[in-house]
Structure 1
């Protein structure tokens, strides 16, 4: 178990990305001192350099340069506000623990995945475009009810997606790196993909998942099937996806792209059969409160001498 040792009378200095997070962490205990800091402004100085904990900003925070960490000799924990940790995992200085905010984005990301799947199946993007054009275009689209759905990723968010889909009587199959009760192994995908109406991606970014959805993966999917990416853009080979969409054989709903943000003129903007949102899956008002709660809970654990939770990398 990973703990962060703190003397009984020691002040816990914490680097925070905003006044709101600073206020929340200082409410935990008078022993906590928050210091608002943006790494882009340079290395911390003064009392901020005594920080044991750094909370990076949410929404695409990246690893600072070596000078930033060199100015923080007491740093022992990087506590993320997000579940995704790919920008930091395996890249922190020795002796610094990395923890994520598992659960903070779960309800909203799962909600997006289900909403996007339902909208794509029922042709809502098509009808919105027809409404904008003033056309009454009666057409029949697919249904989510009773669909065969593969959820690739059986973690916290994947399970939430499954629970939300239960009301549609889908035939649900979970897929993960290793097989276990109720979960199929990822090496079974060649046999599973041809029979799925919907494939939902909600995997972390690892060397194994980066580029996992390549031309071979997409070719194995059934004609007319829907790919839903609620994970990260780099999980999917963008060129291979564009080719399948352009042919009209597959459809997709994605909240993430590679590259991201998607540049002007990129072929994904005009790809047929695509529902695209700009990485907003977790962006609901309640998410910020849940992320702040993950931080404050972690700090309470530190003050109480309890093990850290949601550890991604331990020293």
Structure 2
């Protein structure tokens, strides 16, 4: 058995026991030497200096300090960063790649709950569940068992904006349902869309022809306000916009105008800004359904992120390549 490399947690300390509950932590400690009571949020902390100087692996997560040159100088033996969360764009710097440090991310594991959330919202929106919940709450009675026209998920048209990890996982989850799914993504060609099993459409056409539009593009300067007033105007009356990506991808002022007109419905797990100011009209509009950025890994789902890191640590120990290595050449356009 190869000697276990020294590792250090670098994340918000209170997240460690959620991401690495006892059985997951035991597996991690079987392949790396790591002290769960030492969690670094400052690479200049003298209490961590000696351990950092020997560390070959950083186990990172939400709250990890920026890995700039000064931070990396404190970890001279570092050869791998195993990130127990999604995107690494918030804390990595060009210095990481310049030094040839391997970086792995649990983004694929984090994509699953977001895709599951989105699937649930698509199916609920197809039944117009939120409007009927409010109607029943207000009237306290309803003709149960009657036929409700205009709702249902048989051949409901769903447009997926962005073939990110989440977008691709969602397409997989949608496959067993009798829905008509299409995709818009400028980085996907017809052959790749064919492998995904969906038609590839220009964004404008997807917006015009979808009953439900769900946004899964990355946050980049090019995607800011990707869905603005012009794009929202293309959506059919009665259609639904779902955003679980980043709030900045949707023009909220334009969306509020459409919602006030009663033309669209919005399901938003992310907003811009986040959190919304208390006076935002989105809180009170009956056709806006808001959740507080909880589509990603929460509660017991966090252990899935830890298990992903454990599997990567095991691969490091045996000399196998990382399964979820981050390709920095495409990082800027990745979600």
Alpha-carbon distance between aligned partners in 1 of 2:217 and 2:183, rounded to the nearest angstrom: 12
State how many pairs are aligned.
Answer: 306
Alpha-carbon distance between aligned partners in 2 of 1:223 and 1:289, rounded to the nearest angstrom: 41
Greater Cα shift, 176-185 or 262-271: 176-185
- CA spacing shift, 1:30–1:198, aligned 2, 3 Å: closer
- Corresponding position of 2:209: 195
Which is richer in helix? 2
- Corresponding position of 1:150: 159
Alpha-carbon distance between aligned partners in 2 of 1:246 and 1:89, rounded to the nearest angstrom: 41
Q: 1:199, CA displacement in angstroms?
A: 0.8
- Tell whether the 8 Å contact from 1:113 to 1:161 is kept in structure 2 after alignment: yes
CA RMSD of aligned residues (A): 3.1
**Structural mapping, 1:1-315, within 5 Å:** 9=3, 11-15=5-9, 17=11, 18-19=16-17, 21=20, 24-25=24-25, 27-28=27-28, 30=30, 32-35=32-35, 36-39=38-41, 43=45, 44-58=48-62, 61=63, 63-64=65-66, 66=68, 68-88=71-91, 90=93, 93=96, 94-95=98-99, 96-133=101-138, 135-136=140-141, 142-176=151-185, 177-181=187-191, 182=194, 188-314=202-328
- CA spacing shift, 1:280–1:191, aligned 2, 3 Å: same
- Tell whether the 8 Å contact from 2:28 to 2:310 is kept in structure 1 after alignment: yes
Q: 1:217, CA displacement in angstroms?
A: 2.0
Alpha-carbon distance between aligned partners in 2 of 1:212 and 1:71, rounded to the nearest angstrom: 40
Greater Cα shift, 13-22 or 45-54: 13-22
Greater Cα shift, 92-101 or 235-244: 92-101
- Tell whether the 8 Å contact from 1:84 to 1:204 is kept in structure 2 after alignment: no
1:63-114 CA-partner distances (Å, limit 9, x unpaired): 5375544432333333222333442465554323432113313332222102
Greater Cα shift, 252-261 or 94-103: 94-103
5+ residue gaps, structure 2 = 330-335
5+ residue gaps, structure 1 = 1-7
Alpha-carbon distance between aligned partners in 2 of 1:26 and 1:257, rounded to the nearest angstrom: 38
Greater Cα shift, 31-40 or 212-221: 31-40
Alpha-carbon distance between aligned partners in 2 of 1:97 and 1:203, rounded to the nearest angstrom: 25
Alpha-carbon distance between aligned partners in 2 of 1:62 and 1:32, rounded to the nearest angstrom: 19
Q: 1:179, CA displacement in angstroms?
A: 1.6
Greater Cα shift, 175-184 or 130-139: 130-139
